[in-house]
Chain A
Amino acid sequence: MTLAQVVHQMSTDADFASQLYSNPEAALSKRGLKISKEELAFLLSSRHRVEQEKLDIVSLSNVTNGQWRA
């Protein structure tokens, strides 16, 4: 649940998202949130891709559509 809360916060609070990139430990502890370093690395890379490629849930679904059957 904590991880999901972090994702939600970084998606709805631009300041938090910015702090998470620059000083993740401080950003998380300030809000009483805790995730592992590995989770943080996956999270930041996932977020980076979403922003860089302007992905939304429909475009992601189009990209992955049928690939596990192919």
Chain B
Amino acid sequence: MRLGIGLDQGDLSSDKSLSRWVNLPGLCCQAAGGNPEWADDLAAAWVLYYSAAHLMDKIQDQDEPDRWWQDLGPGIALSAATGLYFSASMALNQLALNPPANSAAIDIVDNFNRNLLIMASGQYRELTGPPQTLEQYWARAEAKSGIFFALACRNGARLATSNAGILSGFQIFGNQIGLLIQILDDLEDILPIPGAKFPGQRKELAYSLPTVYTLTVSSSDVRGQLNTLLGSARSDPVAAQEVIRLINQSGATTYVLFELNRISQEAHKAIHSAALPGEACDQLDELVNGLVNSKPLN
């Protein structure tokens, strides 16, 4: 299970998606009654933490290296990730220097540290193999994507308010955005590897929601069959096609659509319970709509 906001190429400047998500802390700050500029350091820290975590994740999963460290090896990537973590901490510490963010700085830094620790525990669970039940899947999805987006939203709002009820609403909103992104990212793991003909051959497929749903609801025979097929699908197109057949047969498409609709509704509810009506709230609504705006999803 990856956490991705579109920085896979390691080239921040060319990635359109970054501009979409980097504004999230500022929008939440504004929607809670603050000035979006108060969240500039927070947004910088959030993106740097993301970049560090994403890099570490790639090393841990032994993914295809990015171009810049392809020849240099994972050691240099690990070194860069460490630097990114410290840079993120420095950006976060900037909050303490300027009013009005300084009054919330200790609470925000504490919230980041506690939740990054939970993310690290989620990363550890990845080493124990793919989830086998939906309960395990949702726990991991929250511990990775959910918490990460909740950090941006809760702490963006924290710059404007200390009201626990309002902060909880922003935290839930961020969590739901992270879950939606995780599911959409999982769906990409169904598709053929670039240059390949058949879907179902990516190694990440075993961690994806459609697969874990199928494992959860199927009989032990089908579960065993699917786990075996997942082991050989990468090099065997016939096994990959059988994986897709079993996933389709289980009703996974309906389940995934259901969850996308349910979670997006939860996100809308959360933000309307917490945010002040206005332009920022509308933009946060639109961010959710943008995630589920395809014809079969709306």
Contact = CB atoms under 8 A, between A and B. Distances in A.
Nearest to A5: B217
B6 interface: yes
B244 A57 contact: yes
B295 interface: yes
Q: Is the interface of A mostly helix, strand, loop or mixed?
A: helix
Interface residues of A, number: 33
Contacts of B291: 67-68
Given A42-B261, A68-B184, A70-B16, A58 B254 contact: no
Interface in B174-196: 180-181, 184-185, 187-188, 190-191
**Max chain B C-beta neighbours (<10 A), residue from A3, A60, A68:** A68
B248 A56 contact: yes
**Max chain A C-beta neighbours (<10 A), residue from B181, B252, B290, B295:** B252
B256 A60 contact: yes
A56 to B, nearest CB: 5
Interface residues of B, number: 45
B121 to A, nearest CB: 23
Contact of B135 (A1, A3, A5, A45): A1
A61 B247 CA distance: 13
Interface in B204-262: 210, 213, 216-218, 244, 247-258, 261-262
A52 to B, nearest CB: 9
B251 A7 contact: yes
A46 B257 contact: yes
A50 B184 contact: no
Contacts of A22: none
A15 interface: no
A57 B183 CA distance: 12
Contact of A7 (B20, B255, B261): B255
Contacts of B210: 57
Contact of B251 (A1, A8, A53, A58): A8
A10 interface: yes
B184 A64 contact: yes
A58 B258 contact: no
B296 interface: yes
Interface of B: 5-6, 15-17, 20, 134-135, 180-181, 184-185, 187-188, 190-191, 199, 210, 213, 216-218, 244, 247-258, 261-262, 265, 290-291, 293-297
Given A8-B255, A42-B265, A64-B297, 20 more contacts: A3-B255, A4-B134, A4-B217, A11-B250, A39-B262, A46-B254, A49-B296, A50-B254, A50-B257, A55-B253, A56-B253, A57-B210, A60-B187, A61-B188, A61-B191, A62-B191, A65-B188, A68-B181, A69-B6, A70-B16
7 contacts: A7-B255, A42-B261, A53-B296, A57-B187, A58-B190, A60-B257, A61-B190
